[in-house]
Structure 1
Amino acid sequence: MHKKNYETFSSDMDFSGYEYFVIGSGIGGLTAATWLAKAGKKVAVFERHYVPGGFTHSFKRKHGFKWDVGVHYVGNMDKNESLLGMFNFITDDKLKWESMGNVYDVVHVGGKKYQFRAGKENFRKQFIAYFPKEEDVINKYISLIEKANKRGAAFFFEKVFEPWLSKSLGWIIRKRYAHYSQKTTWEVLSKLTDNKLLIAVLCGQCGNYGLSPKYSSFGAHAMVIAHFMEGGYYPKGGADKICHNIIEVLNALGSKVFINADVQEIITKNNKVTGIKIDNTVIKSSNVISNVGVDNTFNQLLSKSAKKRCNFNLREVKPASGHMCLYIGLNKSSAELNLPKHNVWYYANENTDELIEKTNLADAPNNFAYISFPSAKDSEWETENPGTSTIQAMSVGLYDWFSAYENQPWMNRDDAYKKMKANFEMTMLNKIYSLFPQLKGHVQVTEVSSPLSTRHFSNYKHGEIYGLAHTPNRFKLPFLRPKTKIKGLKLTGQDITLVGVSGAMLSGVLCATTILKLRSWRVFKKMNKANKTVTV
């Protein structure tokens, strides 16, 4: 049980001592806030929800069951990885991680299972064993992943460049990365092989970036594949340990997080930020960081004239797709039910694009399903919740399926909407039972979320969890960088970099670096010094 370490916003609070204001308490905003706080700045983070953390928070229901909303596993958390050092730094080494074991994902395609094993060479050997005639293809694929990510690292770092450097050296960096980012995953893989089954299995984790092979950028695919290649990890005690440990560090540094603080407007004058408006209360400020997505920032929080100055245009990139999720609580432990630590990716056949593109609500779980077992990944679950376990099962959920009910209140929508959720629950449960028949008779609690649920809590207008779709066009948008053309307004979050916890965290570092400039190296030195004393 987390001790409350945040405050409820009130219009009579005095914010005059704060130097920076962050809108949104997701991991991108919290990372930027912590870096600034460690550089001696006083930061206030505003969260519209009644709990902080964005997609790193968890929620509880009856019988004590708790589920994560966004963090199902994280990669690159080996003791030698920089991402672990970053987490250690922003949580003062309070956040602990557990390995999911040698196998972190199992992909089911057409009735066959394919394991993703931790470690590049284990990954290579396992896939060659599955597809012995494709050894050369698999070796080329891994090499392409590595080359793409070397270019990608420079591409993301370029986002902190000043305009003059971005137009010169930055142009070269972007052009070199375009060789990978401006091709779809299908374009790249189909040139390597005509084996549709191999392509389907290699793209088995495509739900991690929200697009099937014919639509996703190979750059995004390469980043996500490499992120998990050394194995999957899960935070001890659940995903909300991430945000609560970071908030404790912020509090110790004199900064704070405020909930129920729904920012209505970023106020500008003469192309400069002058404040923000919350509940019709104006808080003066010349430094604002938005972590609520570029669509919300430019289309909801800024005036038309301010938006125009930023050359903001999303015509070529749509929001990422939504999803359906079934949350399950069981009346036996993970050990008793033999639940795995690894995730399951189920596909009815090898036609990944068709399964996802042409699905409907009635058949979605029969075509595609992602199944995660958070209680099995967390060694503390059984101690805190003996004799119980949890599952999360997701599938495609298009916003258009539910848009007729978007203006109805949460938890009080029409019976027709409730029936749609009930039908999804039944279909998904049957799919789970077909894969794990031992679970029959042990389901105690269920709850279904739709894209409308995501919209209600995250304020993403189309119920998307991944922000902007990870298409090739996404990587061409010039305004996806921390610094905007409005003085005093910075951006952070997964839209600026890439999907997921690590992508959003990177955006927070880039945002802080943009603000601190050369002073950011002092923070880097603090981080490196702290990490040298850490034992994992």
Structure 2
Amino acid sequence: MPKNYSKFSPNLDKGPYDHIIIGSGIGSLTLATMLARCGRKVAIFERHYVPGGFTHAFKRKNGFQWDVGVHYMGNMTKKDGLRKIMDFLTNHRLEWEPMGDIYDVVYIEGDKYEFPAGKENFRTQMKGYFPDDSEAIDQYLDLIDRTNRKGSAFFMEKSFEPWLSWLLGGLIRKPYQKISNRTTFEVLNDITSNPRLIAVLCGQCGNYGLPPRESSFAAHAMVIGHFMEGGFYPHGGSPKIAERTLETLEKLGADIFVSSEVSEIVVEKNRVLGIKVKEHFIPCKSVISNIGVNNTFNYLLSEPQRKKCGFDLQSVEPSSAHLCLYVGLNKGDHELQLPKHNIWCYANEHISSNLTDITAESAASKFSYISFPSAKDPEWRKENPDKATIQAITAARYDWFKDYEEQPWLKREEAYLQIKKSFENSMLDRLYELVPQIKGHVQYTEVSSPLSTRHFTNYKNGEIYGLAHSPERFNLSFLRPYTKIKGLKLVGQDITLVGVGGAMLSGMLCAITILKFRIWKVFKAFNEPLP
């Protein structure tokens, strides 16, 4: 990664800036790259000491490394539109490794269900598992396609000028909201009465962070469609996404400041004037926030400004929190025969109760998601042939840790450490059950909690997916790049959908609202690498 990122100080002020972006997640990086390609002067301000948001990874002195957010991606074949945007951001300098014919495996009460890459392969596989539900499986795949086609128009409408949205937006949103207003369970229960089939089709629900009885089917359809052609992993691990994009931004003259937390968005007479970092004012023509709508409006704007924007999030909860066990092994993934595919493991077919009726002690036994980053990454195997890594995740409640939130990071009391230790032991038991060959080869373990997420991301409830992907979310028409404050715009997964793909889409939509017809210069540059 380029090494010249600095903490902002007045003597480093290289303005004036056209656009200041708060936060350095992939939504910000997408937007910044598109703006900079059109000659705009852009600066990114990041509170963390590492840019990249959930695309970054962390390392330990023993050489182990784990990604924190990007466990795999879909739509990364050469022909996919998302891949074309990714190549544009990374200046065609990032390769993607397919995870193989089977990219996800779901276990329910010990029964195994494989998810193959390719819609027709998926259709055949599911009908093999459920021969009496052949018609339901066809209906399901057809509904996924139809929902996502309507979703394309729904999300594109978010880039409309306010007057055009007022005129046509309702007509575009209404067809999609007929399905987005229904939960995943409601829709699937109309298709089939087989609870095991419903459970299998919802086996990847951790990718959008809500159980079937709470999630919008629209979110389910988008995520399932995203992975339908298989999973992919970046060569060199998830940090390469940000590294390569930041290199592109440096070539384009953008400024990136780390350890530089924005304390205020400065607004006067309903127009953005700039930002403050501590007490230093930095002027600009527009500010774009990528730190979530809750953080933006509750912490960086005054109450009158918040009311002016009409943001009311009382109907939508934050997304789920999680506990994660990071495991380092003293043998390579090849020697241990670790898979590339992810594992989703549920205690039984009642997925919603597995994810909601949990305690800190029971969570890992009811639900586990297991990822093998070293096995997915060909670069790791070349450089670390005698080491391997695993991540094992379960759902968590922020309330379990609330009593410790004011205690300093890495110095919290023994009771907090005991909760983490209990989780570690139960998750290791689950790992030894599912991947028994690793027993005796665990060299290093570390646990992150919702308080870890809060510490590094500033999400107040330790959530990882922003606003919950519930039916109510899709009725909030103000979740779009435009706000009612002139010069203030929004980007990130709250505006569109969960994950890297959703955040990238938000960056593109926000770029359209700023560049308008000049966006054609960006699209033209998709196949024109920088020197």
Which whole-Å CA distance do the structure 1 matches of 2:2 and 2:288 have between them? 27
- Given that 2:2 and 2:247 are in contact with CA atoms closer than 8 Å, whether structure 1 keeps it comes out as no
Which whole-Å CA distance do the structure 2 matches of 1:322 and 1:400 have between them? 10
- Given that 2:75 and 2:227 are in contact with CA atoms closer than 8 Å, whether structure 1 keeps it comes out as yes
Residue in structure 1 matched with residue 315 of structure 2 by the alignment: 316
1:348-427 → structure 2 map (5 Å cutoff): 348-427=347-426
Runs of at least 5 residues in structure 2 that lack an aligned partner in the other structure: none
- Given that 1:5 and 1:244 are in contact with CA atoms closer than 8 Å, whether structure 2 keeps it comes out as no
Instruction: Please give the per-residue CA displacement for 1:86-140, whole angstroms capped at 9, x wherever unaligned.
Output: 0011111011100000000000011101000000000000000000000000000
CA RMSD in angstroms comes to 1.1
Amino acid at match of 2:329: L
Question: Which has the larger displacement, 221-230 or 514-523?
Answer: 514-523
- Given that 1:34 and 1:250 are in contact with CA atoms closer than 8 Å, whether structure 2 keeps it comes out as yes
- Given that 2:2 and 2:246 are in contact with CA atoms closer than 8 Å, whether structure 1 keeps it comes out as no
Q: Does 1:66 align with 2:45?
A: no
Measure how far apart 1:309 and its partner are. Answer: 0.5
Measure how far apart 1:28 and its partner are. Answer: 0.3
Measure how far apart 1:8 and its partner are. Answer: 2.6
With normalisation by structure 1, the TM-score equals 0.98
Amino acid at match of 2:215: S
Residue in structure 1 matched with residue 144 of structure 2 by the alignment: 145
What secondary structure sits across from 2:334 in the alignment? coil
Measure how far apart 1:343 and its partner are. Answer: 0.2
What secondary structure sits across from 2:333 in the alignment? coil
- Given that 2:31 and 2:510 are in contact with CA atoms closer than 8 Å, whether structure 1 keeps it comes out as yes
Amino acid at match of 1:283: I
Residue in structure 1 matched with residue 213 of structure 2 by the alignment: 214
Measure how far apart 1:17 and its partner are. Answer: 3.1
What secondary structure sits across from 1:275 in the alignment? strand
Which whole-Å CA distance do the structure 2 matches of 1:368 and 1:84 have between them? 31
Which whole-Å CA distance do the structure 1 matches of 2:442 and 2:455 have between them? 27
With normalisation by structure 2, the TM-score equals 0.99
Q: Does 1:530 align with 2:509?
A: no
Aligned residues: 530
- Given that 1:5 and 1:247 are in contact with CA atoms closer than 8 Å, whether structure 2 keeps it comes out as no
What secondary structure sits across from 1:64 in the alignment? coil
Which whole-Å CA distance do the structure 2 matches of 1:235 and 1:405 have between them? 36
Residue in structure 2 matched with residue 485 of structure 1 by the alignment: 484
Which whole-Å CA distance do the structure 2 matches of 1:340 and 1:274 have between them? 52
Which whole-Å CA distance do the structure 1 matches of 2:163 and 2:273 have between them? 26
What secondary structure sits across from 2:445 in the alignment? strand
Which whole-Å CA distance do the structure 2 matches of 1:146 and 1:55 have between them? 28
Measure how far apart 1:518 and its partner are. Answer: 0.6
Q: Does 1:434 align with 2:448?
A: no
Residue in structure 2 matched with residue 262 of structure 1 by the alignment: 261
Question: Which has the larger displacement, 376-385 or 4-13?
Answer: 4-13
Measure how far apart 1:530 and its partner are. Answer: 3.4
Residue in structure 2 matched with residue 21 of structure 1 by the alignment: 20
1:453-468 → structure 2 map (5 Å cutoff): 453-468=452-467
Residue in structure 1 matched with residue 123 of structure 2 by the alignment: 124
Q: Does 1:240 align with 2:228?
A: no
Measure how far apart 1:5 and its partner are. Answer: 4.8
Amino acid at match of 1:398: R
- Given that 1:128 and 1:138 are in contact with CA atoms closer than 8 Å, whether structure 2 keeps it comes out as yes
Which whole-Å CA distance do the structure 2 matches of 1:48 and 1:338 have between them? 39
What secondary structure sits across from 1:299 in the alignment? helix
Measure how far apart 1:525 and its partner are. Answer: 1.8
Instruction: Please give the per-residue CA displacement for 1:421-458, whole angstroms capped at 9, x wherever unaligned.
Output: 01100000000001111111101111100000000000
Residue in structure 1 matched with residue 225 of structure 2 by the alignment: 226
Instruction: Please give the per-residue CA displacement for 1:16-43, whole angstroms capped at 9, x wherever unaligned.
Output: 2321110000000110000000011111
Instruction: Please give the per-residue CA displacement for 1:308-355, whole angstroms capped at 9, x wherever unaligned.
Output: 110011110010010000001100000011100000000010000111
- Given that 1:23 and 1:45 are in contact with CA atoms closer than 8 Å, whether structure 2 keeps it comes out as yes
- Given that 1:272 and 1:286 are in contact with CA atoms closer than 8 Å, whether structure 2 keeps it comes out as no
Runs of at least 5 residues in structure 1 that lack an aligned partner in the other structure: none
- Given that 1:124 and 1:138 are in contact with CA atoms closer than 8 Å, whether structure 2 keeps it comes out as yes
What secondary structure sits across from 1:7 in the alignment? coil
Which whole-Å CA distance do the structure 2 matches of 1:422 and 1:71 have between them? 25
Residue in structure 1 matched with residue 470 of structure 2 by the alignment: 471
- Given that 1:185 and 1:221 are in contact with CA atoms closer than 8 Å, whether structure 2 keeps it comes out as yes
What secondary structure sits across from 2:257 in the alignment? strand
Which whole-Å CA distance do the structure 1 matches of 2:226 and 2:194 have between them? 24
Q: Does 1:303 align with 2:305?
A: no
Amino acid at match of 1:400: D
Which whole-Å CA distance do the structure 2 matches of 1:150 and 1:165 have between them? 21
- The 4+ residue runs of structure 1 with deviation greater than 3 A are none
What secondary structure sits across from 1:285 in the alignment? strand
- Given that 2:17 and 2:285 are in contact with CA atoms closer than 8 Å, whether structure 1 keeps it comes out as no
- Given that 2:492 and 2:507 are in contact with CA atoms closer than 8 Å, whether structure 1 keeps it comes out as yes
